[in-house]
Structure 1
Amino acid sequence: MTLNRRQTLGSLALMPAALHAAPEADVKPEKKVFRMALVAAETGFDPVRISDTYSRLVTSHVFEALYGYDPVARPVKIVPNTAVALPEVNADFTQFTIRLKPGIHFQDDPAFKGQRRELVAQDYVYSFKRSADPKNVSPMWPELEEQGILGLTELRAAATPGKPFDYDREIEGLRALNRYTLQIRVKAPRPRLVEILAQNDLRGAVAREVVERYGDDLMAHPVGTGPFRLVQWRRSSFIALERNPTYREVLYDGEARDDVGRELLARFKGRRLPMIDRVEITPIEEEQPRWLSFLGGEHDFIERVPGEYAPIAFPGNKLAPNLARQGIQHYRHQAADCAFTFFNMEDPQLGGFEPHRVALRRAISLALDLDTEVQQVRKGQAVRAQSLLLPHTTGYDPAFRSENGEFSPAKANALLDLYGYQDRDGDGWREHPDGQPLTLEYASQPDNYSRRFQEMWLKNLKAVGLRMKVLYGQWPEQLKQARAGKLQLWFLGSTANYPDPIGMLARLYGPQSGNQNYSRFKLPAYDRLYEKVQTLPDGPERQALLREIQRLQVAYMPMKVHVHRIVNDLAHPWVLGYRRPLFRNEFWHLIDIDPARKPKA
């Protein structure tokens, strides 16, 4: 039978849709996109010029350090990253020889003029020297300087203002012995140097060609060897990264030491990393919008569920039934971190070592109700801190107790009375011992979460007759002010970068003033202990020195350590494989997205 044109077209319209579909080989799988919010805005993505957690979350996925952490091992285990193996170390921990894996390449970038650029040992020599270049004003330079790399401090000191830094000058302690071999030599024993070298976010390799091409705009042009590359950035508004197409073959593997690790390894072992295609990040500082964006599915994951929503999301620390029915996953974790207040030791109101100034800081510490902070402000998601040592780090003892963790308005009032802080004019507020007005200036942000801390401070200090006013500002700007010594006191958080507690101890080390030592605390006795702790292997002698450091912090109170936070993360059911890292930021390359579990639009 012959069909006319109308019959033919009609018959084709009735054909099954499958007959019109493209061949199966041409159907592209749905892109796996991971979306999350940051609790504060980033500052940029040049590893030597950043220190904030939010920027480092990005750089940890773009750049690669020599070493990293086993993705499943708990307790943690340091493993080679771009290196072939752990360093070859001499007997006194002063020489480290590291061999790189050949065949690792930087992501493609115009700086390389169309050529594939292999990672070599000289890239790490150059990257470490960038931290020493005064022009970069690296906040993490003191950490590297303290390692005592032979010739590096002298190279920095020889820099002439207004002239290019001499990156080509050879130094004894930092050498590329050949294309793939790096040697580091230090002045004094550094038994834990490998922990410094296991930070993708800060110690990842940067190519010289990239720095020379982008110059001062490098913060917006991170180019590394890691699993992701930056593809979009609207400052303080939106960040997007995509899978690095030139990333080498890296397979999911590890040493499982607990049930969670064994489950992850059984599920993902042998999978090529990264498992997702794209990451999108939006800074949302206010708690309610951040929480609602997660509940509404705009974000796949919420890190550090705001304390206000803890009783709703996980009453009694158990996931709420309505969230469990949606398949939402709850991850509760005692973080290796703390929230602390630093007191500016150079401030004329409350700084200095005179007995009455020490008494004022200790009285402020005793006046702060940490139980209220834990239970009411943080909704039970923290534990009181007793010192500056952090959970999961060497030397931390949960049974240790000190005045740092004590709440006693009676003792605070007695100290203030004893050292002459009296209310002489009857207005309800104490004055300095010389009769001058006393007003404490508390730096904070204008969001709702910060206001709850402000209210606690105002109430607690009023109870002991101390007047306080709040100075509002944005977090990145206040960080700059803190480093410049322009804030009297500021309340913020800190997270351990590695198992050694030295990162937190550095916050009171004199030479770190203006960097990690926001309080500008300069006490020779403390500095000597700090320097000795650097040289000793872990053991009873080092532990005794850590105890003495704890006592000095409590005695002089240059910082009040409030709490160690308990972190609660939530993920929608389509996010697979998440486990909060202990001492690193990176996890995007270790998770997967199951599009089949996502609700259809």
Structure 2
Amino acid sequence: MKSKFFTVTLFSTVVAFAPMGYTKTPAQADKVLRIAFEAPDDGFDMVKTFNFYSGNVADVIFERLVQYDYLANPVKLVPSTAESMPTIQDNGKVYIFKIKPGIYFTDDPAFKGKRRELVAEDYIYSIKRILDPKNHSSSFAFIDHKIVGANALVDQAKKSGKFNYDASIQGLKALDRYTIQFTLTQPDYNFPYILAYSTFGATAREVVEYYKDRLGMHPVGTGPYMLSKYVPRSKIELVANPDYRGFVWNFKSTGTAWDNQLVKEMSGKQMPQIGKVNISIIEEEQSRWLAFQSKQLDFDKVTANAIPKVLDQNNHLKPEMKNKGVQLYRNKEAEITYSMLNMRDPIVGGSSLDKVALRRAIALSFDVNEYIRILRKGQAVKAEMLVPAGVNGHNPNYRSSIGYNPVLANKLLDRFGYKKGDDGYRTLPDGKALTLKINTESGSASVMYSELWKKSLDAIGIRSDFRVSNFADNLKAATQCQYMMWSGAWHADYPEGENFTQLLYGPNVGRGNQSCYQSDAYDNLYRQAMQQPPEKRMPFYEKMSRQIEADTTWILQDTRIRNWLIQPEVQGFKAHPIMNSNWQYLDIASPRQNK
């Protein structure tokens, strides 16, 4: 899931409709969780965004058929709105889910005063929204050509200009009010993991048709929380859904000391306990660090600049932090970070040898190890292939063919006619000026990142121009293929390599493919990989990684190691490798317990 995206700013403040009656949730109103996002969301219609922060919120509003077990390692799925895990037929081609009766959407004006029960057709409708070409859903790649009959309806919509939501799809059927059957074009035992992704949460058709283009600001689901207040780019307030059925905290330890402590303090509790979640958008690292120090935040990732103040040389908490009762949880993200080059840009794009040489030289100029040392303060590992550790298809022995080599970079540029002028900067082979325009954002980390890139490019004689904007405008430009170079990160939406490799698949230009990259060789490898069961895809993912290195579309950078600091009042915290919202699994000690 993309970690930065643009923010909806249609209204300055939104106050959601609060449901009355039917109280079920065990959440306590005086238990308030205070957290921060390091970048803004862009609303909560996940069909139209892949914003990491939007997904955090959507995960606790919209329920999927299945979800992740909170503690299990390796990750595993458990039922959510489904009564049990699916019945699987025809060697993994047919999945049948039975939905629990008596689950209701939160009250909303769209329902005109009636209680609205969750039914199988809600999941079918939600998937049809993903299929609708007008929505340009990045999640379409997850189900493209996977559900029998679905693509025929997509093709029809492209021709007619309108998606027929009332048309039946052979592979997507409600067998009765609570039973949904998926029929796939080929066996896929990975399919339930796709259904656990936030975009596949149930949305009511009445709500979509009622709010239309404002849907992202009026999310209505069946999950443990609901949107209460929303100030775009500033604050998000969630309150416990009073109609939520609740659950018992009853997870099994994996045997670690951390898990053992969680089981000891949380087992048997009626959940959720948190009555309100206050989310502040704090983009500047120093401000977030100060907010945590002053106990305005209940947990947060240690910012890079604060690492020396918090951790010793062995990455353990320093005594002054321990004395405050603060806890440390370290985990390596299932992610990659990278710099993207726009393959449609007239300067850096294209497939001619001189263009490939230019992109390769740019990649060779950048010292990832120095970047990790300076920007990450050592809290990261170098990314070698498209699929990161912790995701199916990752090969821990794979090594990228592109390393730090400014000498070779200069030789490449000399060989392909990028000549240096009297000022030491190179021109294009036709003699015109060469300037690499790099989109970036404000903030101290972005400034340091830009300084590293300028140093790298100066060393090979390429002039750089850093264009500071916000994530909204940068993402919009990338989606429209109107930029030259930009950096991003992708966190696993589900533990399968296709979630990463689809980011460079040609048909996904305008969705997740922000490099606007189209390669017959790469696309053929991707399609071949999708024909294989997940356990046989690694060789294809390796070849795709080599193809990206050959074309130098991306410059892979790192996978971050997150150091979470947790205030002593917070109970039940653990960072999950895939699932990002853990608020429904937490508790806050009462004032009496604190004493």
Q: What is residue 491 of structure 2 aligned with on the other side?
A: 495
* 1:447 Cα deviation from its structure 2 partner: 1.4
Q: What is residue 171 of structure 2 aligned with on the other side?
A: 173
Q: TM-score, normalised by structure 1?
A: 0.91
Q: Distance in 1 between matches of 2:399 and 2:155?
A: 43
* 1:267 Cα deviation from its structure 2 partner: 2.8
1:258 to 255, 258, 269: 255
Q: Distance in 2 between matches of 1:574 and 1:509?
A: 45
* 1:221 Cα deviation from its structure 2 partner: 0.8
**CA distance 1:29–1:356, change in 2 (3 Å):** closer
Alignment partner of 1:207 is 2:204: yes
Please give the secondary structure, in 1, of the residue aligned with 2:237: strand
Q: What is residue 422 of structure 2 aligned with on the other side?
A: 426
* 1:521 Cα deviation from its structure 2 partner: 1.4
Decide whether the 8 Å contact of 1:387 with 1:553 is kept in 2. no
**CA distance 1:458–1:298, change in 2 (3 Å):** same
* 1:398 Cα deviation from its structure 2 partner: 3.1
2:510 to 514, 518, 526: 514
Alignment partner of 1:556 is 2:545: no
Report the residue type matching 1:399 in the other structure: N
Q: What is residue 443 of structure 2 aligned with on the other side?
A: 447
* 1:287 Cα deviation from its structure 2 partner: 1.0
Q: TM-score, normalised by structure 2?
A: 0.92
Q: What is residue 398 of structure 1 aligned with on the other side?
A: 396
**Residues 142-186 of structure 1 deviation map (CA, whole Å, 9 limit, x = unaligned):** 333x25222323323333799864211111121111111111122
Q: What is residue 501 of structure 2 aligned with on the other side?
A: 505
Q: What is residue 102 of structure 1 aligned with on the other side?
A: 101
Report the residue type matching 1:114 in the other structure: G
Q: Distance in 2 between matches of 1:597 and 1:550?
A: 55
Q: Distance in 2 between matches of 1:71 and 1:50?
A: 25
**CA distance 1:147–1:96, change in 2 (3 Å):** farther
* 1:255 Cα deviation from its structure 2 partner: 3.8
Q: Distance in 1 between matches of 2:263 and 2:184?
A: 38
Q: Distance in 1 between matches of 2:475 and 2:142?
A: 18
**Residues 41-78 of structure 1 deviation map (CA, whole Å, 9 limit, x = unaligned):** 11001121121111111101101111111111011111
Please give the secondary structure, in 2, of the residue aligned with 1:388: coil
Decide whether the 8 Å contact of 1:147 with 1:193 is kept in 2. no
Decide whether the 8 Å contact of 1:48 with 1:130 is kept in 2. yes
Q: What is residue 386 of structure 2 aligned with on the other side?
A: 388
**Residues 415-455 of structure 1 deviation map (CA, whole Å, 9 limit, x = unaligned):** 212222211x3221111222221111100002111000000
Please give the secondary structure, in 1, of the residue aligned with 2:500: helix
Q: Distance in 1 between matches of 2:533 and 2:158?
A: 38
Report the residue type matching 2:364 in the other structure: L
Q: What is residue 51 of structure 2 aligned with on the other side?
A: 52
Q: Distance in 2 between matches of 1:587 and 1:297?
A: 19
**Residues 510-569 of structure 1 deviation map (CA, whole Å, 9 limit, x = unaligned):** 111111111111111211211222232233x42222221221121111101101111111
Q: Which moved more, 1:530-539 or 1:45-54?
A: 530-539
* 1:331 Cα deviation from its structure 2 partner: 1.2
Please give the secondary structure, in 2, of the residue aligned with 1:254: coil
Decide whether the 8 Å contact of 1:133 with 1:165 is kept in 2. yes
Q: Distance in 1 between matches of 2:470 and 2:453?
A: 19
**CA distance 1:83–1:306, change in 2 (3 Å):** same
Alignment partner of 1:274 is 2:269: no
Q: What is residue 16 of structure 2 aligned with on the other side?
A: none
* 1:597 Cα deviation from its structure 2 partner: 7.5
Q: Distance in 2 between matches of 1:434 and 1:599?
A: 71
Decide whether the 8 Å contact of 1:69 with 1:79 is kept in 2. yes
* 1:29 Cα deviation from its structure 2 partner: 7.2
1:566 to 558, 561, 564: 561
Q: Distance in 1 between matches of 2:97 and 2:28?
A: 40
Q: What is residue 129 of structure 1 aligned with on the other side?
A: 128
Q: Distance in 2 between matches of 1:372 and 1:358?
A: 24
Largest Rg, 1 or 2? 1
**CA distance 1:101–1:215, change in 2 (3 Å):** same
Decide whether the 8 Å contact of 1:574 with 1:597 is kept in 2. no
Report the residue type matching 1:430 in the other structure: R
Q: What is residue 188 of structure 2 aligned with on the other side?
A: 190
Report the residue type matching 2:365 in the other structure: A
1:243 to 236, 240, 250: 240
2:570 to 566, 570, 575: 575
Length, aligned pairs only: 567
Q: Distance in 2 between matches of 1:189 and 1:532?
A: 14
Q: Distance in 2 between matches of 1:473 and 1:118?
A: 44
Q: What is residue 411 of structure 1 aligned with on the other side?
A: 408
Q: Distance in 1 between matches of 2:404 and 2:32?
A: 47
* 1:136 Cα deviation from its structure 2 partner: 2.8
Q: What is residue 288 of structure 2 aligned with on the other side?
A: 290
Report the residue type matching 1:64 in the other structure: E
Report the residue type matching 2:86 in the other structure: P
Report the residue type matching 1:328 in the other structure: V
Q: What is residue 139 of structure 1 aligned with on the other side?
A: 138
Please give the secondary structure, in 1, of the residue aligned with 2:286: helix
* 1:81 Cα deviation from its structure 2 partner: 1.1
**Residues 356-399 of structure 1 deviation map (CA, whole Å, 9 limit, x = unaligned):** 11111111111101111111111111111112111101122333
Report the residue type matching 1:225 in the other structure: T
Report the residue type matching 1:332 in the other structure: R
Decide whether the 8 Å contact of 1:442 with 1:488 is kept in 2. yes
Q: Distance in 2 between matches of 1:395 and 1:220?
A: 36
**CA distance 1:597–1:484, change in 2 (3 Å):** farther
Report the residue type matching 1:432 in the other structure: L
Report the residue type matching 2:346 in the other structure: P
Q: Distance in 1 between matches of 2:285 and 2:252?
A: 37
Decide whether the 8 Å contact of 1:389 with 1:501 is kept in 2. yes
Report the residue type matching 2:207 in the other structure: V
2:369 to 368, 371, 382: 371
Q: Distance in 2 between matches of 1:522 and 1:88?
A: 38
The CA RMSD measured in Å over matched residues stands at: 1.9
Decide whether the 8 Å contact of 1:334 with 1:566 is kept in 2. yes
* 1:191 Cα deviation from its structure 2 partner: 2.8
Q: What is residue 17 of structure 1 aligned with on the other side?
A: none
**Residues 465-500 of structure 1 deviation map (CA, whole Å, 9 limit, x = unaligned):** 111101111102211111100111111111011110
Q: Distance in 2 between matches of 1:113 and 1:193?
A: 35
Report the residue type matching 1:573 in the other structure: P
**CA distance 1:455–1:461, change in 2 (3 Å):** same
Q: Distance in 1 between matches of 2:486 and 2:356?
A: 18
Decide whether the 8 Å contact of 1:533 with 1:545 is kept in 2. yes
